[in-house]
């Protein structure tokens, strides 16, 4: 494996890590937003 193979491997690992981190972050934000929506609708008295 030449130097380009190692560089490609490093970029691949970084991309996978970033995608995984962004996905888990997105899920957390979506859950929090859903909870906020439920609380807001509960205050108004509208059942979703």
Residue 22 in any domain: the answer is: yes
**Domain count of the chain?**
1
Which backbone phi and psi does 39 adopt, to 5 degrees? -65, -45
Is there a contact between 14 and 7 (Cβ–Cβ < 8 Å)?
Answer: no
Residue 9 in any domain: the answer is: yes
Residue 46 in any domain: the answer is: no
Residue 5 in any domain: the answer is: yes
Residue 15 in any domain: the answer is: yes
Residue 8 in any domain: the answer is: yes
Q: Which domain holds residue 32?
A: 1-40
Residue 13 in any domain: the answer is: yes
Which pTM value belongs to this model? Answer: 0.51
Residue 48 in any domain: the answer is: no
pLDDT at 31: 93
pLDDT per residue as tens digits for the range 1-48: 688 899 999 999 999 999 999 999 999 999 999 998 888 887 766 555
pLDDT at 1: 60
């Amino acid at each position: 494996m030449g130097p380009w193979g190692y560089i490609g491997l490093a970029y691949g690992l970084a991309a996978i890590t970033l995608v995984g981190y962004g996905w888990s972050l997105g899920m957390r934000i979506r859950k929090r937003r859903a909870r906020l929506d439920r609380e807001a609708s509960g205050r108004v008295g509208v059942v979703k």
